[in-house]
Amino acid sequence: MSRNPLLKFFVKEYRKKIAKQLFIEANGIVNRGLFEGMHLGEEIHWGKADVASKIYGLYESEVMEFIKDKHYESLVNLGAADGYYPIGMLMKKRVSHAYCFEENPLGAKYINQNAKLNRLDGAISIYGRADSQFYKQLPEGVVGVNNLVLCDIEGGEFELFTDEVINTFSQSTFIIEVHDFKFDDGQNKRKALIDSFKGFDVEMVKSKPKQWSDIDQITALSDNDRALVCSEGRRVLGEWLVAIPRKTEHGA
């Protein structure tokens, strides 16, 4: 495996170029998958090379597969980036409100813009960086019910999900992207996080190959371009902790 930083740079830039081309051809509208019909904003602060896989419903298909037939009171999105999940879930009426935590001011700006683009700005609340006290910022009545807590904070999950946080959301489902590979003691952190979800059924879900064979725009690409569109550019295989409360109603 090449570790040439210049080669990695050019591959990343070429992924962005292909993604932008497909984005333009689709007029920025998701045309396949759970979030079909959703408008993606032209301004992106996170994952510019992922817009093509979002357009064609391939992005994080493992998460999409889990949530596609479920409904929750609210989405609590920690690390909301540009608002892909909150806007998509609101548009498809999988939640009634989305509470977005995003530490990057540019990301928060684009969440707001994208919500307005999809006429959903009244159903989204935007906060800054999430820490282990984040839930205290939520309106009364949000915690303690059937929510989805969706988290992607690049390793911060190991500090954020204290026993207090997990107990506060004891009736909620969690989907947490796990970044143990970023730490020397990552395996210990990973085990401790899993063990923290007492009273939950826990499953670790890994990325799977993308199913693109019935997408004409993808099959028309060269093998190399197709591989780059279907790539999520991860350093390691993506993995999520999915925790569902036992003996409670969830995502019915």
Asked if the structure places residue 20 within a domain, the reply is yes
pLDDT digits (tens, 9 = 90+) for 214-242: 999 999 999 999 999 999 989 899 999 99
Instruction: pLDDT band for 2, please (50, 70, 90 cuts).
Output: low
E strand intervals along the chain: 74-78, 97-101, 124-127, 148-151, 173-177, 200-206, 239-245
Report pTM.
0.93
Nearest to 116 by CA among 139, 83, 77, 142: 83
Instruction: pLDDT band for 249, please (50, 70, 90 cuts).
Output: very low
Asked if the structure places residue 251 within a domain, the reply is no
pLDDT at 252: 47
Instruction: pLDDT band for 3, please (50, 70, 90 cuts).
Output: confident
Asked if the structure places residue 83 within a domain, the reply is yes
Asked if the structure places residue 252 within a domain, the reply is no
pLDDT digits (tens, 9 = 90+) for 114-130: 999 999 989 999 999 99
**Could you say which DSSP state residue 38 is in?**
P
Asked if the structure places residue 121 within a domain, the reply is yes
- In order of 107, 170, 203, the CA distances from 243 in angstroms are 27, 10, 7
What's the CATH number where 42 sits?
3.40.50.150
pLDDT digits (tens, 9 = 90+) for 80-110: 999 999 999 999 999 999 999 999 999 999 9
Residues 63-76 as b or e (16 or more Cβ within 10 Å = b): bbebbeeebbbbbb
Asked if the structure places residue 190 within a domain, the reply is yes
What is the widest separation between alpha-carbon atoms in the chain? 52
Domain containing residue 63: 5-245
Q: Domains in the chain: how many in total?
A: 1
**Do 251 and 175 touch, CB atoms closer than 8 A?**
no
The C-alpha atoms of residue 154 and residue 177 are separated, in whole angstroms, by 8
Asked if the structure places residue 139 within a domain, the reply is yes
Instruction: Examine the pLDDT at 201 and tell me if it is beyond 60.
Output: yes
